[in-house]
Chain A
Amino acid sequence: MELNSLAVLPDDLLCHIIAKTTLHDKIRLQLVSKKFRALLMMPPSGEGLWGQCDLSAVFSGFMVNGNDYWKYPQKFIEAGVRRWLVRRVPHMTRICCDTDTDEAAWVLCGLLPCSAPSSCCTARRASSPMLPCAASGRACQTASQS
C-alpha cells in the first residue's frame, strides 16, 4: 500500500478494523497514537463510532477460542481483563465465565447473549454470590468481585 494512506481512514471505518483484532492487539494499539488511544478509550456501547460494529467483533479479544491471552495465568488475566473492561464499559456490571473449561466465553451481560455452554457459571455458584445474567438469565459473577 502505500499503507500511508490508511492514516486518513475515517474513524468509524477504523473502528470496524480495530474491532476485529484481539484483546492484546487492542491494548497495544493504545500505544500507537493519541487517535487510536482515544478510539479505544470510548465505551463501545452500541452508539457513536463503535455503533456500527458487530459487538461480538468488538469484544472478540475477550471472548473465546484461540485468543492468546489464555496462555497467561488465569488469575492474572481475570483481574486484568476485568479491570480493562470495567474501565472502558462503564455500564457493564457483570461478566460470565465458563468455568467448566476454565477459559473462553467471557460475556458482557446485557450487551451480548451469553454464548457459554449451559453449565455457565454453575461451578462458581456455591462459592460466590451470583446475580442473574441480564442477557441469558443464568447466574453470573459480578465484575466488581475480582
Chain B
Amino acid sequence: MPDIVLRSNDGADHKISASTARLSRTVASLLQDLEASKGEDAELLIVPIPNVCNCTLKKVLDFCEQQRAFDDLVRASPAAQQPEVTRKTQAWRETYMKVSTDELYHLVMAAHYLDVPGLLGLCTDAMADHIRGKSPSQVRACFGLKPNLSPEEEDDIRRSNLWALS
C-alpha cells in the first residue's frame, strides 16, 4: 500500500493512512484515479486538495482519524461497552465542534467538497443552530442577505402560514 499524502491549497502536506483517506468520498475517488494511472507499485500518492487550506484540512483529518479510531473501537468492543463508546464519541465531537463561526464556515465547505458524511452532518447541525428560533430578519443578518421578496409575496406567505407566523 503506497503512502498517501494530501496536499492543501497552500502547499502543506499531510500523510495519512488509506483507511482514513477513504472516509472522504472525494479523496477515495481521486485515489482510485491515481492508482489507476500510477500503477499498483507506486510508493507515494500525492492528492492535491485545491479547495481547502492547510488549517482546515488538518481539522478535517483530525475528524477522519478520530472517526476511524472510534469505528475500530466499536468493532472491537463487546455490546455492553457500546453505550460508553458512543458517549465518548459524542463528547469528543462536542469538543471538536467548539470552533469560531468563521472556522465553521470553512469546515462545512471542506466537508461538503471532500464529501465526508459524518463531518458534514456535524457541521450542518451546527449551522442549523444558527437558524433555529431566529426571525427572518435575524437570519438575513446572519447570512448577509438582503430582503428581496415583494410585499405581495410576503403577504402571500404570511396569509398561507398564519397558524405558524402569528
Tell me whether A126 is interfacial, beta carbon within 8 Å.
no
Q: Is the CB of A32 within 8 A of B132?
A: no
Residues of A within 8 A of B125 (CB): 20
Which of B127, B132, B133, B157 makes the CB contact (< 8 A) with A30?
B157
Tell me whether A124 is interfacial, beta carbon within 8 Å.
no
With A1-B101, A6-B143, A29-B136 given, is the CB distance from A37 to B163 under 8 Å?
Answer: no
- The size class of the interface chain B forms with chain A is 35 or more
Residues of A within 8 A of B132 (CB): 21-22, 25
Chain B residue with Cβ nearest A53: B124
**Contact mask B119-138 → A, CB, 8 Å, 1/0?**
01000110110111111100
- Chain B: interface secondary structure? helix
Residues of A within 8 A of B128 (CB): 17-21
Tell me whether A89 is interfacial, beta carbon within 8 Å.
no
Q: Is the CB of B144 within 8 A of A7?
A: yes
Tell me whether B1 is interfacial, beta carbon within 8 Å.
no
Give A residues with C-beta under 8 Å from B. Answer: 1-7, 9-10, 13, 16-25, 27-35, 37, 69, 72, 76-77, 79-80, 83-84
Q: Please, could you name 23 A-B residue pairs with CB atoms under 8 Å apart, sorted by A? A: A1-B100, A1-B104, A1-B105, A3-B101, A5-B105, A5-B144, A6-B105, A6-B127, A9-B109, A13-B108, A21-B131, A27-B164, A28-B139, A29-B131, A29-B136, A32-B139, A32-B140, A37-B149, A37-B153, A72-B163, A80-B163, A80-B164, A84-B160
* Given pairs A29-B139, A34-B153, 19 additional interface contacts (CB within 8 A): A2-B101, A2-B102, A3-B101, A3-B105, A3-B130, A5-B105, A6-B105, A17-B127, A18-B128, A19-B124, A19-B128, A24-B164, A27-B164, A28-B135, A28-B139, A28-B165, A33-B146, A35-B145, A83-B160
